[in-house]
Every structure is written in structure tokens, then in C-alpha cells.
Amino acid sequence: MRPATVADAKAIAHLSRDLIETGLGWSWTPERVTRAIQDRNTLTVIACERDRVVAFAIMFFGDEHAHLSLLAVQPSHQRQGLGRQMMAWMMDAISVAGVATVHLELRTSNYTARRFYRALGFTETAYIPGYYRGREMALRMVKALRDPAAPLPVWNPPKIH
């Protein structure tokens, strides 16, 4: 597992097209994935088997909120912990950044993903009719990492004598 590079954009885009965007058209093209990889407020992580990308996750970080844009694992590599490991990496990064909540949307018909995110502590918050190209309803989920109204902890570096 490692951060994605621009060289990985095409493989990530093809996985998105084949595993996430099926039947919806293709919006996460190689160009869009490249922009996400280059965006300093977005973290893109991949898992590889030899030189082949078998899983990826893309998360945007704001000041208070993060948004998981995409997460996919090749069917041949599912149920091996890759999704959990990628989410753990993302959650560590956003907790260090002081993010209060993580949001995501998924197809309401994707019961496997719903169970996965529930197991990670996400709760279902809203149904959004027509979210996916006006054709399919989405389910919004959220996970609170801290109270957004609470002040960030102050870091006091140790004194050097």
C-alpha cells in the first residue's frame, strides 16, 4: 500500500469505471483522477499486487470535514482487509489534520459497502434521490471523529534542556 502517483491515474480510473460507476457513465476519468492525485487537499492511496493496482481510495480533506470520494477493491482481493487498511490510513491522516467528520455517499443497493462502513463506525444519515446521474438514489453516511464545535487540542512540544 502506498500513496498514488500520476502514473497510477489510468489504473485507478479504470477500476472506478468497472467497479463503482457501472451503469452510470464514466466521470472519474484518468484526467479527473490525476487532478485528485495532484490536489494537496486530497489523499489517494492504492494497494498493489506486483505492479497491478488492486484497490484504491480517494479522500478530500477540508478544515473540519473530509469526504471519501471513492473506494474500491478488485473482487479477487476483497475480504482480505485491503479496504480496512486503506480506511485506517485515511482515518489516521485526517485525525492528525484535525478533521471532525468524514462523509461519504454510496448506492443504496450496495449492501456490502453499507455493512463495511457500518462496521467502521459510520452511521446512515440521509437518502438522496437521483444522486447518481439522476438515475439512482444514494445513501449518505458520516463518522464523527470529534465534536466539530470543540476546540482543537493544543500541542505543547517537550522542552529541550
The one-character DSSP state at 76 is G
Q: Select from 102, 110, 114, 106 the least CA-distant residue to 131.
A: 106
Q: Which amino acid is at 43?
A: L
Q: What amino acid positions are annotated as catalytic residues?
A: 105, 117
C-alpha count within 13 angstroms, C-beta hemisphere, residue 151: 3
